[in-house]
Amino acid sequence: MPRNATKRRPVVTAKQRALAAVEKLPADATIEDAIERLVFLAKIERGIAEVDAGRGVDHAEVKRRVLR
């Protein structure tokens, strides 16, 4: 493969990501555990999408806001 060629990752659907997250839970996990994990992952994805769209706040700005 040429150096500048990009490797394409297979497209992973939201359903596939959810199923993978649930599969990684321990055998004794509750429905609440699964829901909590899925909500957590959804929030991470939402945050990444916001940063990708340029709506993030840089580290220096966060420090400035917190230290007021």
Digit-coded pLDDT (tens) for 6-59: 677 788 999 999 999 999 999 999 999 999 999 999 999 999 999 999 999 899
Find where tokens 């321990």 sit.
Answer: 26
User: Angle, to 10 degrees, between the axis of helix 14-23 and the axis of helix 31-52?
Assistant: 140
State how far the Cα of 42 lies from the Cα of 15, in Å rounded to an integer. 12
What's the pLDDT score for residue 4? 54
Encoding tokens for residue 22?
């649930």
Q: Is 63 helix (H, G, I), strand (E, B) or coil?
A: helix
Closest Cα to residue 34, out of 46, 48, 50, 23?
Answer: 23
